[in-house]
Amino acid sequence: MLPLLSGDPREIGPYRLVGRLGAGGMGVVYAGVDDVGRRVAVKLVHEPLSVDLEFRRRFSREISVLDGVEGVCLARVLGSDPGTERPWLATEYIPGPTIEQHVRAEGPLSGDALYGLAAGVAEALVAMHAAGVVHRDLKPSNVILAPGGPRLIDFGIAKVLDGSTMTHTGTLVGSPGWISPEEYGEGSAGTPADVYGWALLVFFAVTGEPPYGTGRPEVLAYRVREETPDTGAVPADLRGLVERALAKDPAERPAAAEVLAGVTDAWRDRADDLAEPEADATVMIQRTWVLSPGETTEWPEPPAPPTAPALKATPAVPAVRALPAGEPAAGARGRSGPSWVHAYIATAAAVTLVAVTAIIAAAATSSPPEPFQERSSDPSAVPKALAQSAAPTRPAPVAISATPVRTGETSTGATEKTRTVPRSGGEAVSFRGIAMTLPKGWRLLRVRKDLACIESPNARGSSGPWEFACRPDAMVLKTGAGPGSWPGNGIDDPHFGWVVGSPMPCLADGSVWRDPNGSYDDAIGEFGLYDGVYADGSSLRRSSLARMADGRKAAYREWVIPCMANGQYVQKVWYLPKSKVALFVLSARPEDGKGYRRVIASVNLAGYRYAAPL
């Protein structure tokens, strides 16, 4: 990451900027954080493009499409503003090296890593193409080997620059040597161009070399149109698929869905030891992806957020934030005329928001606790100030010491700000007669007779050798959860109630993390390859009750669990001991906090055969 330049903005939309991640033909990509500390990548459009009315129209249209793209192996769009003076787009920040960086440092990919990459990129293309989006710039620097699997970034942006092959200035969209043959001609570049790019990525991952070598753009253009890469190094069960995808005629290439199915079948055939022979590609990635996250970029601390000024009876021209001399704000350069109106409106809105938040918080904290109809014990058994108490003395589960892999990155933003019941609506689902409503985009997966996984669009974690039934960042619904098994046997343990088993892995960001200094251990086997937890540093952050739709009140526990090297994470548990029903998230995502509350508030056990009477 590079430091901000003197002319760079310090804020874009709701994000505070801390550095530069890169720049391209469309704009500059900044590293930023939101108000809860979540890291994002914000692309700010170059000024010449921002005054191009045709570009702004296309940008606005494409952003509306990108918001609907949902894929496990894609970087999600978090926010945008196509109507401001300098349009911008924010996506989640994905840690880890790119394919290009990994190949340079570690060499080509093979085995599960190669098949996971091929499947992950194909899965991302299927999701994009289903939403009507074409990437058009697949290259090694646009795929990140994240801790939880491959992630395709910067998608859809090349198409925004122009819907045809050439830009207004006659410059090709894309990177020389990674452009499909039809993009050098007069035909349109659609989804087959992405499939061609997928084949080039697989070739590079296998060989470590660009498919068409290096050279001047015109030399690379000739090779792309007239030559075919030698695919002899590609594994035999993938070679035929790669060669079809490299066809010069777009009509002869397979669709992305066919590519994904072919890779999955080939991977499944070679992995005879998989417990579930019908597992899809994302499940296989979750269970086998063990690449090291690589070196972690240090993120400077962002400047403190501005303090809202006091509201005056006759407001003057309030300054939303004081900037150093010569420092522009994003979208503010060249603004003339009634700029004080925008400043006043922003200030008034901020003050109003602070006041409303204070009123809601006061009402929530002053409300008396509701009587507990179904719980395991008196909530007073857990002291209110437990989170600030001394560390427990009970021996910790096996933990793996490690040199820090990344620093400053946590998953502790799951604090529930209000106690209002989420609004109704969404998809009604049922598992064994237990009814609930899922937020838009969430899904329920029936894994076993007694267990189901509830996944949000953000759930994309991996559990490595632990092989949890659900992703660590998915909500689990478990029936038959008696006092002899977790979480029933730990719901009243104020120190180690979060321990599912031993050893416990670090689940920061919903995934297990490789320990670069770890090794296979005779006592704990391959678990020794992964980062562990610092059990003595764990704390029970919240112990309360949660009301459900049928009037039941579940015991609610929220733990903060630090890792040996990779920050910390939050575990949430809701438990009905009499009905023996548990819902929990091993590694809760802050952005899913509202969704968790909405699901819990909608739970109704009226149709569950073994529900305890109210």
Please confirm, yes or no, whether 137 is among the known catalytic residues: yes
Q: Which amino acid is at 599?
A: V
Counting Cα atoms < 13 Å in the Cβ hemisphere of 65 gives 20
Task: Pick out the residues of the known binding site for ATP.
Answer: 43
Residue 88 burial by Cβ neighbours in a 10 Å radius (0-12, 13-18, 19+): buried
Q: How far is it, in rounded angstroms, from Cα 454 to Cα 264?
A: 24
Residue with tokens 């979208």: 331
User: Which candidate, 446, 514, 503, 486, places its Cα nearest to that of 571?
Assistant: 486
SS3 95: coil
SS3 340: helix
Q: Please report the sign of the dihedral spanned by the C-alpha atoms of residue 386, residue 392, residue 394, residue 397.
A: positive
Determine the distance from the C-alpha atom of residue 277 to the mean position of all C-alpha atoms in its chain, rounded to a whole number: 27
Task: Pick out the residues of the known binding site.
Answer: 43
User: Which tokens go with 610?
Assistant: 């073994």
| In 510-564, beta strands by DSSP E | 539-547, 553-562
Q: In what order do the strands lie in the sheet with 39-45?
A: 11-12, 15-23, 27-33, 39-45, 88-92, 77-81
**What are the residue ranges of helices labelled H in 165-234?**
191-207, 217-226
Contact 87/59 with Cβ under 8 angstroms?
yes
User: Which candidate, 603, 614, 578, 605, places its Cα nearest to that of 480?
Assistant: 578
Which is the catalytic residue, given 137, 492, 531, 592?
137
**What are the residue ranges of helices labelled H in 236-280?**
236-245, 256-270
**Which DSSP string do the residues of 118-171 spell out, in sequence order?**
HHHHHHHHHHHHHTT-------GGGEEEETTEEEE-STTHHHHH-SSSB-TTSP
Active-site amino acid positions: 137
